[in-house]
Amino acid sequence: MSKFIIEGGQALCGEVTVSGNKNAALKLLPACLLTDEPVILHNIPAIRDVQNTMLVLRDLGVDVVELGGGSWRIHARNVDKAELDPELAARTRASFVFAGPMLARVGRVVLPIPGGDVIGGRPLDTHVQALTALGASVSMSQRGVFEMAAPRLRGAGHLLLAEASVTATENAVMAAVLAKGDTIIDNAACEPHVRDLCDFLNSMGGQIEGIGSNRLTIRGVDKLHGTEFRIGSDFMEVGSFIGAAAVTGGEVRIRDAQPRNLGMIRLVYKRFGVRWEDDGEDIIVPGNQEMMIHEGLGGRIPEIKPLPWPGFPPDLMSIAVVLGTQAAGSILLHDWMYESRFFFVDHLTFMGARVVLCDPHRVLVQGPCKLFANPAGVPSPDIRAGMAMVLAALCARGTSTIHNIQQIDRGYEQIENKLRGLGASIVREAD
């Protein structure tokens, strides 16, 4: 167990390069099971969730070799078993996306209910709907273990997903790409990491059309081959660094930020008075921005809520709370997706934030607030809330301690080194 010790009040300045997209890496790695030929992946982030996914692959008999610099060679020449190790699978939510590729590769899979962040209900019904439509039988025992079988997956014809679930879309695509026949998925998720997965599968010989839209047409093929692929940048990390620069008043260049993926983030952050400039694939966040809430028509308190892509990403709602504490005015944040997302805000109020938890889904934030360090320490409840507390500590007066930072390590690669490179006073210590 480790903790961060952060001395606040330092304006972040300089350059930082973001890591590869966490959510893309966690899906492309299981997708390597779909071929018995070697695959080389680049820009894989060195984060805890990726490390756990590598362990799952190795436990299945897959040859996993680190090439250096974020590059890995994955060779699923053989898959030795169909049951995921329950202890390994319980460490990450992404373990459930092994269902699609395992069904396509070996015709069956046994896996437990996945782990991951405790941010509220995250039902798996849409996964089951999609896999059943593709010919799989799915049963769940009372001990929370799924058993799935499909001697031969078949195209689902027209499949309308009950919700635009990212992971259910990815599971369906990975199962359908080797199914016999065609599948049209409507209400498909189309986030950048979903696009990365589809482009990756096409580079292996898949036939997927409509990439980037909410209708995917998949023509099943008999076999996929090896490939070499680079995943895109993590736009959640980009959004986090934009927030860190803004609340500390610093000027930061974020390299390889891929501005094309920041459209709705730009619109929402603008409501807080936060702006940036594009410079090719980089963005520049100017220093000393006048953070002020932009009211709605007629002086209404604005409401921010997440939506499926291209809407505002739900994983940045925690960062948005901290932005609200430093912007003049009032703003309502409404995460209708997850009922436990905002339970970390009590720790912000102890630091001086004016935040009202209206109900499990909504918080009202009034700023600007002078935040003061909590030397007794605060926890990292999940990946994004943990990063939000890091932002609060960076702009607070005094020395803060953040515990349980293995949660942050699950989604952010060497975050303390990147922040120190921008001038932050942050050290990692054993708890």
So where are the chain's domains?
2-19+233-430, 22-230
pLDDT band for position 375 (50/70/90)?
Answer: confident
Domains 2-19+233-430 and 22-230 share a fold: yes
Residue 277, both tokens: 């400039």
Residue 297, both tokens: 């028509």
Mean pLDDT check: name the lowest of 100-114, 177-191, 409-423.
Answer: 100-114
Res. 163: pLDDT tops 60: yes
Alpha carbon distances (Å) from 303 to 79, 239, 240, 279, 315:
49, 19, 20, 30, 16
Q: What number is the average pLDDT over the span 96-125?
A: 77
Res. 119: pLDDT tops 60: no
How is domain 22-230 classified at the architecture level of CATH?
Answer: Alpha-beta prism (3.65)
pLDDT of residue 115: 58
pLDDT of residue 334: 95
Which is catalytic among the residues 49, 117, 199, 315?
117
Q: What number is the average pLDDT over the span 402-415?
A: 93
Topology, domain 2-19+233-430: UDP-n-acetylglucosamine1-carboxyvinyl-transferase; Chain (3.65.10)
Residue 117 a catalytic site member: yes
Question: What's the pTM value of the predicted model, to 2 decimals?
Answer: 0.92
Strand order of the β-sheet with 108-112 is 108-112, 145-149, 137-140
Res. 122: pLDDT tops 60: no
